[in-house]
Amino acid sequence: MQSTPWRIPTRDPVADRELATRVGTSPMLAALLRNRGLTDPARARAWLEPRLRDLSHPFDVLDLERAAERVQRACRDKERVVVYGDYDVDGMVGTVILMNFLRLAGGRVDHYIPNRLKEGYSFSDDAIDTILTGEDRPGLVLTVDHGISANAGITRLANEGVDVVVTDHHEPPAVLPDRAHALVNPRRPGCPSRFKSLCGAAVAYKLAWGAAESFTGQRKVTPEFREFLLESMGLVSLATVTDVVPLVDENRVLCFHGLRALPVSKNPGIQALLAASRLRGQAVRAVHVAYRIGPRINAAGRMGIADVAIELLTTRDAKRAKVLAKRLEDANNRRRLLEKDVLHEILSMPEIKDHQPGQGICVGKSGWHPGVIGIVAARLVDRFDVPSIVVALDGKKSRASTRSIEGVNVKLALDACSTHLAQHGGHAGAAGATLDEDKFPAFQRAFTEVSTRAVAESGLTPSLDIDMELPFSAIRPEFVEELERLAPHGEANPTALFCTRGVLVCGRPKRVGKDRGHLAFHVRHGERTFRAFGRDMGDQLERLRTEGAALDIAYRLKFDSYVNPGSIEIEIEQLRLHNGDART
């Protein structure tokens, strides 16, 4: 029953009360705001009440005005436009946003999503051949969530007389594509846009917003465009959560309002997804997107049926949407089984059984489904807390997907191993690559060495950041309800984490869940008792039953929605035997 060291901040009751008075919260919520660096009352109020007017203007993004004018001209001249998106939620949702906008604006639009299993990421020769086939060639290609590194593909299209407007959010290479009509990416050097961490769909959304202003001829767009932009914010929230961009600043605004747009969406596909996710008629939270809605959409790309997701989110037929949502459900169930099998194989490998703390992980095997290796890499990071890369070996078309920990940039790690790779790209926290299977042993050695060194140089010691130490007597329904003001939660804005020391286990703990892998029990501190739930903690059952000692628990607070709806439940993050003051 071990845990990483806990870092528990020291509270300043005077400062907490002062901020609480200024922003209209309880002192405990004010303390949580201060923990997040929101010590200024104006910033704290903006955080608690995200406003659409706090979004920066789309034309602040370099090249976006030029891109918007090109979109307007394509619609005016009835040019065929192809929206070429990536195959993840971010790319597919952004593709839908631009398709729906172009149709509303009277444009002629098609889409292209590469088959993840056959074509891989961004432009390929086969994809360009398909786009150029036939007499009705496009005059314009709009990329979504890729393209900033696609110099060869953009050059080929330009040579064929096709303009390319790139919308992307990935880190730009040192040399940018020079034949693109416009490169819309907030991360571009010299881009004046103040917020750089938008997801790809949000960049596409800003292009639609800018183009709406170009069509209207002023900042106040037509009622039709305004309704479209407000409705589409729901789609942006799906991408913002699933692409794990920081839920701060503009992302917080987009996600806050977008999540509220989902339950009332007029999009039949959205309503079918909500029904399949058992969320119809409910408030949608970020956690629902991350664990229910997002995986269903993502399964389409992972299993090579991205067009099903695109049709689902663009159809106007509710019956058809229900059929398509069922296909995504089936794909997601198959994805779960494949993921489970690959992870089981990896955990059985000798190099994983002998894994040393702080050592980067690189594993590969033929036969692994390339659509699930990214999820499996994330599972390895969760389990071992080190950068991890999983490779689906397949001759010259082997695919790799990597995930990382805070403080270690896996994009830079792949840069350092680039001599072994055919191509690669991504972010600090997640990246992908293709390579020749013959080069895998050398790549495995290089990545393990580079990532292990990066972990050591980061100087990071694994620890658990506690927001506040609480006695159970302070846990009241009104406080749990007030915590919702900090939502939506996700990257850079995790759900508040509390701790209480010296709690006692009551009754008989038991295993629960489909695979009996979780733990349910009751804990008492002082005069109060709460139901506790430990996800993936079933292996702690016997120790809880036999040791009978007091515990320190780190946990999150929520209202129970299953066993005793409306009551407060404690969701355990970590537990350890109580042995006095263990704060770090």
Please state the length of the chain.
Answer: 584
Number of other CB atoms surrounding residue 194 within 10 Å: 10
Number of other CB atoms surrounding residue 522 within 10 Å: 16
265 three-state secondary structure: coil
DSSP label at 407?
A: T
Q: Residue 351 corresponds to which amino acid?
A: E
HSE value, Cβ hemisphere, 13 Å, CA-based, for 499: 27
Name the burial class of residue 453, with classes exposed (0-12), middle (13-18) and buried (19+) by CB atoms within 10 angstroms of its CB.
middle
Tell me if 431 sits within 8 A of 425, measured CB to CB: yes
Helix locations, 41-146, DSSP H:
41-48, 64-76, 89-104, 125-132
Name the burial class of residue 528, with classes exposed (0-12), middle (13-18) and buried (19+) by CB atoms within 10 angstroms of its CB.
middle
| Residue the block writes with tokens 């608690």 | 48
434 three-state secondary structure: strand
The domains of the chain are located at 59-230, 349-458, 465-577
Q: Give the pLDDT confidence score for residue 582 in this predicted structure.
A: 40
- Tokens representing residue 555 in the block: 């946990």
Our measurement of the distance from residue 488's CA atom to the centroid of its chain's CA atoms, rounded to an integer in Å, reads 13
- Tokens representing residue 511 in the block: 């295993």
Query: Please, which residues have CB within 8 angstroms of residue 415's CB and are 6 or more apart in sequence?
Result: 424
Which one is the CATH code of 349-458: 3.10.310.30, 2.102.10.10, 1.20.140.10, 3.40.50.300? 3.10.310.30
Query: C-alpha distances in angstroms, 48 versus 45, 480, 513?
Result: 5, 15, 35
Tell me if 548 sits within 8 A of 556, measured CB to CB: no
Angle between helix 223-242 and 294-302 (nearest 10): 80
Phi first, then psi: give them for residue 143, nearest 5 degrees: -90, 155
Q: Each residue of 546-583: pLDDT tens digit? A: 666 789 999 999 998 777 778 999 999 999 888 754 43
- Tokens representing residue 343 in the block: 């992870």
Helical (H) or strand (E) element with 167: strand 163-167
Tell me if 316 sits within 8 A of 268, measured CB to CB: yes
- Tokens representing residue 96 in the block: 């839908």
- Tokens representing residue 538 in the block: 């079933």
Which one is the CATH code of 59-230: 3.40.50.300, 1.20.140.10, 3.90.1640.30, 3.40.50.2300? 3.90.1640.30
- Tokens representing residue 466 in the block: 């506690």
Relative to beta strand 568-577, strand 551-559 is antiparallel
How far apart are alpha carbons 221 and 226 in whole angstroms?
Answer: 6
Spell out where 253-407 has E strands.
Answer: 361-366, 388-393, 398-403
Q: Each residue of 217-228: pLDDT tens digit? A: 999 999 999 999
How far apart are alpha carbons 522 and 263 in whole angstroms?
Answer: 34
Query: C-alpha distances in angstroms, 291 versus 68, 390, 456, 476?
Result: 34, 22, 32, 27
pTM here is 0.91
Superfamily of domain 465-577: Nucleic acid-binding proteins (2.40.50.140)
Q: Residue 170 corresponds to which amino acid?
A: H
How far apart are alpha carbons 340 and 324 in whole angstroms?
Answer: 25
- Tokens representing residue 393 in the block: 């070996």
Question: Could you please report the per-residue DSSP string of 360-380?
Answer: -EEEEEET--TTTHHHHHHHH
- Tokens representing residue 472 in the block: 């159970």
How far apart are alpha carbons 544 and 539 in whole angstroms?
Answer: 10
How far apart are alpha carbons 472 and 11 in whole angstroms?
Answer: 17
Extract the residue ranges of the chain whose pLDDT is less than 70.
1-3, 546-548, 580-584
